[in-house]
Amino acid sequence: MSTAVAAPGPAGRERAQTGRRHGAKALTTGLFLLAVALLAAVALSLAVGSGDVPLRDVVHGVFDPDRSVRGQLVVQEVRIPRTLAGLLAGAALGLAGTVMQGVTRNPLADPGLLGINAGAAVTVVFAMSVLSLTEPEQYIWFGFLGACLAAGLVYGVASLGREGATPVKLALAGAAATALLISLTDTMLLTDGRTYDQYRFWQVGALDGRDLDVLLQALPFIVAGGVLALCMGPRLNGLALGDDLARGLGQRVSVARLLGAGGVVLLCGAATAIAGPIGFVGLAVPHAVRMFTGPDYRWILPYSAVLAPTFLLAADVLGRVVAPPGEVQVGVVTAAVGCVPFILLVRRRGQVEL
């Protein structure tokens, strides 16, 4: 015997609409507060460093620089490019990690799942060893090229067969490609000690020593990838329901995954070109965001785009002051600081959900 389900009356619909409005207002307020935190992280990044620069010189160095004053020159030449690098790389990694987890429906997915980091590493080592390039401005774009080629290889292999690029096939193809690329990288490093010494600093991930020209060259890729990622919210919500249900709702699953992979490649390639293969940010930030936004990718994406650079800049500031007179690279700090809250989050929720 079938039971009819009564449609909600006008009062029920009004309560539901009111609840949605309140929820959207709370999320908008949270995003605004997170933007304020990002501004605070930017201010700290400009004001704090291993060198002692008076606050007055920091303010003048940003708004009215006099390059004859050492402190203002440090702000102009070192801290401003470093802060901009953190903003761009952080936003790119946060968006890329969110899209990867949505496209693959894998809560442990990060940009490395498509072999992006491994592809960047092998081409950077090739540029250092075979082409004898020594400056970051010379070889970082080989990292971008390698990231794009590796992602294309993984997606192409995973797309073979009738079902196309399913989440399981993407993960398997990414693991296989990563193992192959790492073996090629290790082979080149074992035969060239000079390249190994040069490469080991790049692979940690860092924001210092980045020229504004490099950031300007990476900016169009990050803007294009960011716009594509932010527009993926409704598609990622559909993919989260499963392929069959997404198709039933009229979504072209293969097109959605291809667009998502394209956005990830643009974002991760540019982030790797700027800062090297910084890990953990793209994995942990989307999970932290979901504690506040829930599973709606239309909110997870902008939250991640703001929280990730906040986290990255805060970690970079911590790395500048934790071991004076030297510095700890930001890639080390993000993993060391972020792993404990991430483990507590997993234990608290019992599992990491999408």
Among 1.10.1740.10, 1.10.3470.10, 2.60.120.620, 3.30.420.10, name the CATH number for the domain at 89-349: 1.10.3470.10
Local confidence band at 2 (pLDDT 50, 70, 90 cut-offs): very low
pTM of the model: 0.85
Condensed to tens digits (0 to 9), the pLDDT of residues 26-78 reads 888 989 999 999 999 999 999 887 777 778 888 877 887 777 778 888 888 88
Residue 13: per-residue pLDDT:
53
Condensed to tens digits (0 to 9), the pLDDT of residues 251-303 reads 888 788 888 888 888 898 888 888 888 878 888 889 889 888 888 999 999 99
Asked if pLDDT for residue 16 goes beyond 80, the answer is no
Residue 1: per-residue pLDDT:
45
Let me know: does 109 contact 100? Beta carbons within 8 Å: yes
Let me know: does 222 contact 267? Beta carbons within 8 Å: yes
What residues contact 341, with CB distance under 8 A and at least 6 apart? Answer: 284, 288
Local confidence band at 136 (pLDDT 50, 70, 90 cut-offs): low
Asked if pLDDT for residue 8 goes beyond 60, the answer is no
Let me know: does 310 contact 34? Beta carbons within 8 Å: yes
pLDDT, mean of residues 114-132? 82
Q: Hey, what are 334's tokens?
A: 């993000």
Asked if pLDDT for residue 19 goes beyond 70, the answer is no
Q: Which residue did the predictor score with more confidence, 44 or 125?
A: 44
How many other CB atoms are there within 10 angstroms of residue 344's CB atom? 10
Local confidence band at 352 (pLDDT 50, 70, 90 cut-offs): very low
